[in-house]
Structure 1
Amino acid sequence: MEKKEVIIRLENVRKSFSGVPVLKGIDMTVYKGEALALIGENGAGKSTLMKILAGAYSKDEGRIFIDEEEVEIKNPMDARSKGVSIIYQELSLIPTITAAENVFLGRLPKLGNVVDWKKIYRDSAGYFERIALQVNPRTLIRDISIAQRQMVEIARALSLKSKIVIMDEPTSSLADTEVAKLFEIINQLKAEGVSVIYISHKLEEVLTICDRVTVLKDGALSGVRDIKDTSKDELVSLMVGRDLDNYYPKRKSKPGTEVLLEVKNLKSGSAVKDVSFTLHKGEVLGLAGLVGAGRTETMRAIFGADKKDSGQVFLNQQEVHIRKPKDAIRLRIAFATEDRRIEGLVMKMSVKENTTLANFSSFASPAGIMDLKKEKQIAKEYVEKLRTRTDSINKIVVNLSGGNQQKVVISKWLNTHAQVYIFDEPTRGIDVGAKAEIYQLMINLAEDGCGVIMVSSELPEVMGVSDRILVMHEGKIAGEVAKEEATEENIMAFAVGGV
């Protein structure tokens, strides 16, 4: 049997923050030319471990070997010089410069003392072509979609010609066709001898593209498995320490027949062309479609975050005029947006402050004096209710894991006690245990008589949670699928414009 070449090895890596252990002695081996999955619940230590490897954090204890030589990784630039690059889940591109400049950020090639712009645009175009990204290298990042930005991140990693590429939730904003292309790229990298560390909560992807999997639980190593010798059920058990028998919760009652929200002939910009639908009391309404179909833009127009050009919105049979989010909140409509870092949270504020942000007035007296005791109590209740992993409600949210940040976003909107809840990609970057909790939460809201709209790119969860499914294509509702008739095939048929 051919001996595998070890490209990177971690021994007894430990890390604490404010005296709280986050990594409790992690051993990990990565072989040359393999895709190693790194999985675990939010807060298990995955991102911290990879940030140490990428030079963003320093380890407290332990040893790191690259090509069997012990190394100290001092900073991100040092990591890149040692052949390690990382694509973070939260994109790190600069929106006001071009895609090409982002690819070569911090290392613009020069001819003498002058930047070689021809080479930058030519080489970037080559990397974009390699990953089938149809974006002009001269385009500003702010003018392209989130999915396209994710692909620019991948192009940047390719340009670094790294030995090890760390991908943190790389498919979180990608359509199925883009995911397939990414898998082709990963297989190509493997064939070239590049190793990929693949962090994902999507276990189907892990089982499809990876060779081995390392599982973390509560900062410790829970298990290492060859993909061919494991299953989704075993990986879930290793991650959460229990079986998730009821992953998609069952409804105790049927949705009501009373129309809670009605949208008629909604148009907004070029993305929303003519959208009409109804949402009933006690219903979870799924909204599916490919990236760019107009799902998010439709929800933003309803909520008043984007201007609607025409159309009507009715709430409890009465027409309402929502010109800005403040109007929607007053009408008890909540909107947990897809982009939690920019639109969902104030990253430099605490868990407590973010939790009460959308319902601030309920904590203030007519004189404007805050009831700090009540604010503290509410924040603690939602931390416990959603099992948010934080050592304090005063912790700044930028220091939470992505999944726990998402729980704070949801807490903020639950605290408004809305009658209509819009969740845009609510489980993006959330582990399987937390996903089950979010699904149950949405079902509970529906059972209490609220209306819930769930926008999701994950068809299994759309089918598993929704009472009814709408599918969008090119700015319009292309079809409606009843829960009992829903299959991935008939949803995708509508999504691509078929019948």
Structure 2
Amino acid sequence: MGVAVTPILALDDVSKHFGPVEVLHGLSFALYPGEVHALIGENGAGKSTTMKILAGYQPASSGRILLNDAAVTFDTMRDAEEQGIVMIHQEFNLAELLTVEQNMFLGRELRRGPFLRGAEMQRQTREHLARVECHADPRAPVQELSNSDKQMLEIAKALSRDARVLIMDEPTAVLTSNETEILFQQVRALRERGTAVMFTSHKLDEVKAIADRVTIMRDGKVVFSGPAEGLSEHDMAEAMVGRELSDLYPARPETVPGEVVLRVRDLDVPGHARDIGFELHRGEILGIAGLVGSGRTEAMEGLCGLRPATGAVEIEGEPVTIRRPSDALDRGLCYLTEDRKTRGLLLDKSMRENVTLQALPRRAGMMIDRAGEERILDEAIRDFDIRGARGVRVGNLSGGNQQKLLLAKVMQSEPRILVTDEPTRGIDIGTKQQIYRFLRGLADRGTSVIVVSSEMQELIGLCDRVLVMRLGRITGQLAGRDITERGIVRLAMGIAQEPGSRTGQGDVTPASNTIDADRPT
């Protein structure tokens, strides 16, 4: 592919300060027409801040932004959009109470005199959504959409604006592999039309698949910027973190799991999962796999009292009734949500207020012990390597630091059984390694861990045993060396097991129903 001599958009020696803290240090790199440029680095490396400067959401403290080789200043994101620079944010930038159609045209509604052209906006919305194979109803409130449909709506909005430069911050974090390929088809089409595309992703296989050029950041500086050709995933990972990452997953113990601490029978979550039965041993990491629509998340939310559910649950041999999350917490059963931004953390509050929130009923009397909260935060920062100013709004932390803070918050409840849903979604490989080691350390100390994950390599590398769900039921289980991508996929697709492969115990039911087959987890 020929690359134009003059970049369409570039940074020249750009720095950024937040108060006395310098977060970007003299960045220089360029985006060319007809090129896909990946910006990668650990959480906290400065990627999102860099993208926001390029798209007019934040001003640079020093240095220049160059548009077609001429210095420009974007006072607002609208200034950048008028120049054809459009950004898709990592956090959804949608009005939840408005409809899909209203969000698509928000701020640029089609009018005939004083009247809205509703029928035309609805028609165009369907066309834009069809482009990314999203089947959401234009009249549906956005709050009713799944996370993946919200992301596809964000992408469709951006594509509808005929951008000269499209900037995407973690666009695939909540997408399935099929949805990701649909997005990449659109990215390739934009490249052919001469659009400059910049995106971040922690999935280095995606970077290899789509990027022409790669810029790697570490600690607010560019440590590499050049062609993607010849860069392996391992090369990129090591440049990002500045250390060897050959041992991403901690070693599994050779000892047999301990006694059963959780026994689940005939768990039904209406409309989502049925006849769920399994056992969890002390010190075991149990994975839950399945395709979108399998009911993984809903089943675990039902178990932990976050959804209405029926069935028999025993914890350490004692029958328990769990109708609400507090019932689960009282029994030492804690849930770490997949949605840290909406359901896990208070983004407008500080780290101190977040880390102690779940444990307040146990720790607070008539008055909240502020000094005690500060000590807890000190421990969390140390134990989880959380990086950020103590008083910063949690919404301004990087995704990886938010995830570590959420984990620290959940651990304040001192769980004996920890259910984690997508514990490493949207975080960098270095932070993944830290979380994997923490979860294995918990298991080694006798805590039982359930990991719900869409990443098969994560399940294969981390878990002692994996249950696979399909259409709301458990189809089988894999253990030890039998935990393979092929084995997981066959069970997830409902394909008969090959002779000699392990299947579930007596409580495993074949997937013969069609519960909620089209609903994403």
Match of 2:481 among 480, 484, 492: 484
- CA offsets per residue over residues 124-171 of structure 1, 9 Å max, x none? 111111111122222221222111111111100111111111111111
Deviates more, 1:92-101 or 1:204-213: 92-101
CA distance in 2, matches of 1:493, 1:120: 43
Distance 1:69 1:371, change over 3 A: same
Kindly state the Cα deviation for residue 369 of structure 1 after the two structures are TM-superposed. Answer: 2.6
Counterpart check, 1:387 vs 2:385: yes
Matches within 5 A, 1:77-156: 77-156=78-157
Question: Aligned residue for 1:47?
Answer: 48
Q: CA deviation at 1:301?
A: 0.8
The correspondence of residues 168-179 of structure 1 with structure 2, limited to 5 A, is: 168-179=169-180
162 and 255 in structure 1: CA distance in 2 versus 1, 3 angstrom threshold = farther
- The equivalent of 1:61 in structure 2 is 62
| Aligned CA distance change for structure 1 residues 221 and 183 (closer, same or farther; 3 Å) | same
Secondary structure of 1:204's partner? helix
Aligned mates of 1:147, 1:494 — CA distance in 2? 23
On the 8 A contact 1:174/1:291 being kept in 2, the answer is: no
CA distance in 1, matches of 2:414, 2:388: 23
Q: Hey, what does 1:325 align to over in structure 2?
A: 325
* Alignment map for 1:262-277 (pairs within 5 Å): 262-277=263-278
Please, which moves more after superposition, 215-224 or 81-90?
81-90
Contact 1:255 1:281 (C-alpha < 8 Å) held by counterparts: no
Q: Specify the SS of the correspondent of 2:229.
A: helix
**Whole-Å Cα distance in 2 between the matches of residues 172 and 31 of structure 1?**
25
> What is the correspondence of 1:174-213 to structure 2 with a 5 Å cutoff?
174-213=175-214
What amino acid is aligned across from residue 389 of structure 1 in structure 2? Answer: R
The aligned residue for residue 372 of structure 1 is 370
Q: Secondary structure at the match of 2:121?
A: helix
For 2:380, give the aligned amino acid. Answer: Y
Amino acid in structure 2 at the alignment position of 1:247: L
Q: How far 1:439 moved relative to its partner?
A: 0.3
The separation in 2 between residues aligned to 1:69 and 1:480, in whole angstroms, is 60
> Which of residues 402, 406, 410 in structure 2 aligns to 1:409?
406
TM-score, normalised on structure 2?
0.92
Structure 1 CA distance, aligned partners of 2:389 and 2:142?
Answer: 36
Share of identical aligned residues, percent? 39
Residue 432 (structure 1) shift: 0.7
Structure 2, unaligned runs of 5 or more = 497-521
Distance 1:483 1:66, change over 3 A: farther
Partner Cα separation in structure 1 for residue 291 and residue 167 of structure 2: 26
Match for 1:434 among 431, 434, 442?
431
Instruction: Give the Cα separation in 2 of the matches to 1:266 and 1:166.
Output: 44
Q: Deviations over 1:233-287 (max 9, x none)?
A: 2111211111112101102453524111122111113112331111111111111
CA distance, structure 2, for counterparts of residue 108 and residue 278 of structure 1: 54
Structure 1 counterpart of 2:502: none
Q: Secondary structure at the match of 1:228?
A: coil
Are the equivalent residues in 2 in contact too, given 1:37–1:198 (CA < 8 A)?
Answer: yes
Q: What is the alpha-carbon distance in structure 1 between the residues aligned to residue 168 and residue 396 of structure 2?
A: 20
Distance 2:74 2:465 in 1: 51
Aligned with 1:465 (options 457, 462, 465): 462
For the residue of structure 1 that corresponds to 2:10, the secondary structure is strand
Assess if the C-alpha contact under 8 Å between 1:286 and 1:470 holds in 2: yes
Q: Distance in 1 between matches of 2:3 and 2:277?
A: 61
C-alpha contact 1:423 1:452 (8 A) present in aligned 2 = yes
Q: Output aligned runs, 1:236-255, within 5 Å.
A: 236-255=237-256
Paired letter, 2:471 = E
Stretches of structure 1 that go unaligned for 5 or more consecutive residues are none
Counterpart in the other structure of 1:283: 284
The 1:204/1:3 distance shift into structure 2, 3 A limit, reads closer
Deviations 1:313-372 (A, max 9, x none): 21112111111111111111111101111110111221111111111134324xx23333
Question: What secondary structure, in the 3-state scheme, does the structure 1 residue paired with 2:173 have?
Answer: coil
Shift of residue 104, structure 1, vs aligned partner? 1.4
Letter in 2 for 1:437: Q
C-alpha distance in structure 1 between counterparts of 2:96 and 2:57, whole Å: 22
CA RMSD of aligned residues (A): 1.4
For the Cα contact (< 8 Å) 2:276–2:473, is it kept in 1?
yes
Give how far 1:474 is off: 1.2
**Equivalent residues of 1:255, 1:446 under 8 A apart:** no
AA partner of residue 128 (structure 1): L
AA partner of residue 352 (structure 1): R
Counterpart in the other structure of 1:425: 422
Task: Map 1:326-341 to 2 at 5 A.
Answer: 326-341=326-341
Other-structure match for 2:302: 301
Q: Say if 1:255 and 1:280, in contact at 8 Å, map to a contact too.
A: no
Q: Which amino acid in structure 1 is aligned with residue 356 of structure 2?
A: T
Inter-partner Cα distance in structure 2 for 1:175 and 1:197: 20
- What letter is aligned with 2:119? K
In 2, are the aligned partners of 1:97 and 1:141 still within 8 Å (CA)?
yes
Q: For 1:357, what is the secondary structure of its paired residue?
A: coil
Match of 2:4 in 1: 4
Letter in structure 2 aligned against 1:19:
P
C-alpha contact (below 8 Å) 2:45/2:220 kept by paired residues: yes
Once residues 215 and 276 of structure 1 are traced to their aligned partners in structure 2, the CA distance between those partners, rounded to angstroms, is 45
1:446 equivalent in alignment to 2:451: no
On the 8 A contact 2:417/2:447 being kept in 1, the answer is: yes
The residue identity in structure 1 corresponding to 2:425 is R
* TM-score for both structures, normalised by structure 1: 0.96
| 1:15-34 alignment runs, 5 A limit | 15-34=16-35
| AA matched with 2:101 | A
Distance apart, 1:3 and its partner CA: 4.8
CA–CA distance in structure 2, aligned partners of residues 142 and 357 of structure 1:
25
Match of 2:250, SS state, is coil
How many pairs align? 495
